[in-house]
């Protein structure tokens, strides 16, 4: 096999959900020579490439500090730790998210207090956040889910009133704004994932915490590096969670394209909304311009039977439609100790069984969008044939 031949693992699909080749327009001229230089330099962990990315990301967001870490998960864990959250503390967050959000809270020994999400925006319900706050509430973690921003000023005000810190899980929403302000810039900590599927992706695991607070940033820098302030001097109990130079280089390069990519995602979403209107499906409310960067495009069906049938139908036609989070967090065995049962969060539970994701990426072409929309329409027209190029 020719080791330089391009390979796209998802090419078995007519409409795959990822296309990494599109993310490297200058692969041979810029990217590979730079990676070669870094490989030969031996400066693999933190170092100048990571500092360069941290500055670039801070400038892009307009925030004081970016601290590169190992993953989005670690961004959450280190942020909670840096802000002093631990056993006995309650942390309010949402039942409708990826596992890592609640995993981080439990890892720190704190108690997650889950609330439901809204029926139209699919985001944490702020009335329920207010109702869930107690004297033990130390933090609120909001999730900008699927790429749509939460009303950060409103939840910040709730936090101020209750003496709690606000942490944002920005993993799915790199580049999104709320009311014109970038997310992850005004709270105690914005937590970012650069995992391969995310809008801004490393070539493996990577993450960052952003903060305006210099002390929090300094603490995060200690925590990620064995709690070490200088060689062999460990100030506090830390972690080994550092961003690598190869990833940082790729992230700095891709960051220059992120806004353009997000605009392209928004255009794909607008086309889906327009083309699928009239079918028995609905969508996550888009919010004002700039508030949704469409990490995922969710299509809400009327029942689990329709959802499952439509996913199978799309897969059989070579459209890589998938279900994200079919079991909400409170019903996962890992969080059984929270003692929450089916029925606790009806909206999150309904979304889990009725939502599916259509492929969305910046380079999705008009032909692809046509094919996806025709395939969805065919399902509702009763044409369940696997016509078109199916999955191999």
Q: How far is the CB of 89 from ligand PLP (least distance, A)?
A: 20
Ramachandran bin of 102, using left for φ above 0, alpha for ψ from -120 to 50, beta for the remaining angles: alpha
CA dihedral 379, 383, 384, 389 (to 10 degrees): -90
Pick from 98, 272, 325, 371 the residue near ligand PLP by CB under 6 A.
98
Distance set, CA 149 to CA 30, 189, 224, 272, 335 (Å): 33, 15, 27, 20, 26
Q: Which is nearer to ligand PLP, 74 or 89 (CB)?
A: 74
In the numeric block, the tokens 């961003």 are attached to 243
Please state, in angstroms and rounded to a whole number, the distance separating the CA atoms of residues 169 and 2: 41
Answer whether 111's CB lies under 8 Å from 90's CB: yes
Query: Is 195 an interacting residue with respect to ligand PLP (CB under 6 A)?
Result: yes
Closest by Cα among 123, 57, 114 to 90: 114
Tokens in use for 272? Answer: 């889906």
Q: How far is the CB of 172 from ligand PLP (least distance, A)?
A: 5
Query: Is 207 an interacting residue with respect to ligand PLP (CB under 6 A)?
Result: yes
Pick from 172, 187, 355, 375 the residue near ligand PLP by CB under 6 A.
172
Pick from 81, 89, 169, 244 the residue near ligand PLP by CB under 6 A.
169
Query: Is 100 an interacting residue with respect to ligand PLP (CB under 6 A)?
Result: yes
State the residue number with the nearest CB to ligand PLP: 72
User: Of the ranges 71-79, 257-265, 298-306, 311-319, which one interacts with ligand PLP (CB under 6 A)?
Assistant: 71-79
Pick from 58, 71, 241, 298 the residue near ligand PLP by CB under 6 A.
71
Q: Which is nearer to ligand PLP, 318 or 359 (CB)?
A: 359
Q: How far is the CB of 120 from ligand PLP (least distance, A)?
A: 19
User: Of the ranges 121-129, 164-172, 280-288, 369-377, which one interacts with ligand PLP (CB under 6 A)?
Assistant: 164-172
Answer whether 284's CB lies under 8 Å from 346's CB: no
Contacts of 17 (CB under 8 A, 6+ apart): 10, 320, 322, 357, 359, 360, 361
Q: How far is the CB of 188 from ligand PLP (least distance, A)?
A: 17
User: Of the ranges 4-12, 80-88, 168-176, 281-289, which one interacts with ligand PLP (CB under 6 A)?
Assistant: 168-176
Q: Please measure the distance between the N-terminal and C-terminal CA atoms of the chain and give it in whole angstroms.
A: 21
Answer whether 78's CB lies under 8 Å from 220's CB: yes
Pick from 17, 49, 50, 72 the residue near ligand PLP by CB under 6 A.
72
What's the number of CA atoms in the CB half-sphere (13 Å) around residue 348?
27
Please state, in angstroms and rounded to a whole number, the distance separating the CA atoms of residues 138 and 1: 55
Q: Which is nearer to ligand PLP, 240 or 385 (CB)?
A: 240
Q: How far is the CB of 191 from ligand PLP (least distance, A)?
A: 7
Pick from 23, 58, 66, 97 the residue near ligand PLP by CB under 6 A.
97
Query: Is 68 an interacting residue with respect to ligand PLP (CB under 6 A)?
Result: no
Answer whether 276's CB lies under 8 Å from 304's CB: no
- Interacting residues with ligand PLP (CB under 6 A): 71-73, 97-98, 100-101, 143, 169, 171-172, 193, 195, 205, 207
């Amino acid at each position: 096999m020719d080791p330089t031949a391009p390979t796209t693992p998802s090419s078995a699909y007519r409409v795959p959900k990822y296309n990494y080749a599109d993310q490297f327009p200058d692969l041979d001229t810029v990217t590979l020579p730079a990676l070669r230089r870094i490989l030969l330099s031996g400066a693999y962990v933190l170092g100048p490439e990571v500092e360069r990315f941290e500055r670039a990301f801070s400038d892009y967001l307009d925030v004081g500090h970016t601290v590169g870490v190992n993953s989005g998960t670690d961004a959450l864990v280190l942020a909670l730790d840096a802000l002093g959250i631990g056993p006995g503390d309650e942390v309010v967050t949402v039942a409708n998210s990826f596992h890592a959000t609640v995993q981080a809270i439990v890892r720190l020994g704190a108690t997650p207090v889950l609330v439901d999400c809204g029926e139209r925006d699919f985001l944490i319900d702020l009335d329920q956040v207010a109702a869930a706050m107690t004297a033990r509430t130390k933090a609120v973690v909001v999730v900008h889910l699927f790429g749509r921003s939460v009303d950060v000023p409103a939840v910040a005000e709730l936090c101020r009133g209750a003496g709690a810190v606000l942490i944002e899980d920005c993993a799915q929403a790199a580049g999104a704004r709320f009311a014109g302000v970038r997310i992850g810039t005004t709270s105690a900590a914005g937590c970012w994932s650069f995992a391969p599927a995310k809008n801004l992706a490393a070539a493996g695991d990577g993450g960052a915490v952003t903060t305006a607070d210099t002390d929090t940033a300094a603490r995060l820098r200690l925590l990620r590096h064995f709690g070490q302030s200088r060689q062999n001097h460990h100030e506090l109990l830390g972690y080994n969670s550092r961003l690598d130079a190869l990833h940082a280089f790729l992230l700095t390069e891709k960051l220059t394209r992120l806004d353009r990519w997000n605009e392209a995602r928004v255009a794909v979403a607008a086309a889906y909304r327009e083309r699928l209107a009239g079918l028995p499906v609905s969508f996550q409310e888009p919010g004002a311009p700039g508030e949704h960067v469409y990490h995922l495009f969710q299509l809400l069906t009327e029942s689990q039977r329709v959802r499952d049938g439509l996913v199978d139908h799309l897969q059989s036609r070579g459209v890589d439609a998938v279900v994200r989070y079919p079991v909400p967090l409170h019903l996962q065995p890992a969080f059984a100790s929270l003692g929450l049962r089916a029925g606790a969060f009806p909206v999150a539970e309904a979304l889990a069984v009725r939502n599916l994701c259509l492929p969305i990426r910046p380079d999705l072409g008009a032909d692809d969008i046509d094919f996806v929309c025709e395939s969805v329409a065919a399902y509702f027209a009763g044409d369940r044939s696997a016509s078109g190029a199916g999955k191999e």
